[in-house]
Amino acid sequence: VLGTVMALPVLAVTEPQAVDLGPVKFVPTLGISQTYDDNIFQQPVGETDAWVSKVKPQLQFIAQKDADVGAVTYVGDYGFFSSGSQDDYDDHTLSGDGYIEANGRNRFTVAASAAKLHDPRGTGGSEGI
């Protein structure tokens, strides 16, 4: 019996590197995955299987002046199903965070976010018929 061993390249996960844009730093990241789901509708009978490809870009802008820091972040989440485009989705989240130090005794943290998300078929608001 002749066996062959193949070495596959391993992708190292590293910390995202910021791009300096003057007073603002830009931190882009991208996640890509493909998974197999044997019951995409999460039903007890009549299961449907599919390969799911996901792309997750994130764009973050960070500004800092002395002890004050502010950030605006966009996160996208795009899913593509091999079983058909009716279950594909695109989710979007935009958030802003700030840390303000008014003086040695007064510090403020503020945060706000807005999102356009989906419920996968068979869960949440789409459960049932």
The tokens describing 109, both together, are 């943290």
List, for residues 85-122, the tens digit of each pLDDT value.
Answer: 888 999 999 999 999 998 889 999 999 999 999 887 76
Contact indicator for 31, 56 with CB cutoff of 8 Å: yes
Give the rounded distance of the alpha carbon of 25 from its chain centre: 19
> Which pLDDT score is estimated for 80?
94
Residue 72: its H or E element: strand 68-81
The predicted model scores a pTM of 0.77
Measure Cα distances from 47 to 35, 38, 43, 120 in Å.
16, 7, 6, 14
